[in-house]
Amino acid sequence: MPPHRGHQFLIDFARHYVDSLTVLVCTLDREPIDGNLRFAWMRAKFPDELLVHVTDEVPQTPEEHPEFWRIWRELVLRHCPDGLDYVFASESYGERLAMEVGAEFVPVDIDRELRNISGTAIRTAPLKHWDMLPEAVRPHYLKRVCIFGPESTGKSTLAKQLAEHFDTSYVFEYARPLLDPKGGQCDESDIARIARGQVAAEDAMAQQANRVLFCDTNVLLTVVWSETLFGRCESWIRALAAKRRYDLTLLLDVDVPWVDDEQRYFPDMPERRAFFERCRKILVEHDQPFVVVSGDWAERFELSVREVAKMMAEPESID
């Protein structure tokens, strides 16, 4: 928990050793990572292997139950009814398990010489051990930062600057390329397309980000715009926005000059300030952690860098 490069090496070793490989993904309800999610990660990483999701509530050590080895022998043989030739493991228990099921034990990097990592270390400090996470697992530990606020406050520029500074990716505002062919005109029917597109772009880019992903707006801001322009927002979009969580939101103030383009509506300061307050209110209502970012462009960037670095700080890893 979670699957890491050590597990990957174990399974890759085994599948190159044999003609047919069965992988038992054994999970318990009480474990800190959902078993169905872990099984989905394994299927994404090893789509060509026979993966079996085992959810039996079984003891984890011989000390937990006097019939420990009988229970595990029956479990393994139940999922390998034709018998098995080898048991691959990176733990010493593999030798006893192999004997129980009548197979040969094949040890794989028991001393952790090639992949010195553990699930405990990753859960303690996942960003420190990022390179040990398979791509399918990374979005689970990815930090997400939303650049939020009124128009013409530098959201797009700041998202790009922060992504470059932290050597990662950013997600653009999906509405812009969607509305450009219409001269920037936003119709109420566009709101659903914007919401779906923003979520899809963010979740797609999450697969490629390095520890942190910067999002130029999000669906919660789509809700604000829908209410502002059309006086309402569809309930499913509100529900979608409520489910999206961010580790940090940078709420950009309106203390910078307004610049006109085809997709901007409110040049006057009272309107800009009112929109800013709507943004602040909805963040509070949704219990999203946020920091107000004010000042000139350089000050905004410096403050944002400090806040993101603070958010990404981790405890000392257990190696």
Number of C-alpha atoms within 13 angstroms, CB side, residue 67?
5
Q: Do 142-312 and 5-128 fall under one CATH topology?
A: yes
Look at residue 181 in the predicted model and tell me its pLDDT.
84
pLDDT higher at 258 or 222: 222
pLDDT tens digits, 106-144:
999 998 888 888 889 999 999 999 999 999 999 999 999
How much is the mean pLDDT over the chain? 92
Look at residue 56 in the predicted model and tell me its pLDDT.
92
Q: Average pLDDT for residues 8-31, to the nearest whole number? A: 93
% residues pLDDT > 90 (the chain): 77
β-pair partners for 53 = 25
Q: How far apart are CA 53 and CA 39, in angstroms?
A: 6
CATH 3.10.100.10 assigned to 142-312: no
The answer on pLDDT for 170 being more than 80 is yes
The string over 243-277, giving b where at least 16 C-beta atoms fall within 10 Å of a residue's C-beta and e elsewhere, is ebebbbbbbbbbebebeeeebeebeeeeebeebbe
Q: Average pLDDT for residues 208-226, to the nearest whole number? A: 96
* pTM (2 d.p.): 0.87
Among 3.40.50.620, 3.40.710.10, 3.40.50.11440, 3.60.21.10, name the CATH number for the domain at 5-128.
3.40.50.620
pLDDT tens digits, 62-75:
999 999 999 999 99
Number of Cβ within 10 Å of residue 127's Cβ equals 17
pLDDT tens digits, 22-31:
999 999 999 9
Q: What are the boundaries of each domain within the chain?
A: 5-128, 142-312
At 272, the pLDDT band (50, 70, 90 cuts) reads confident
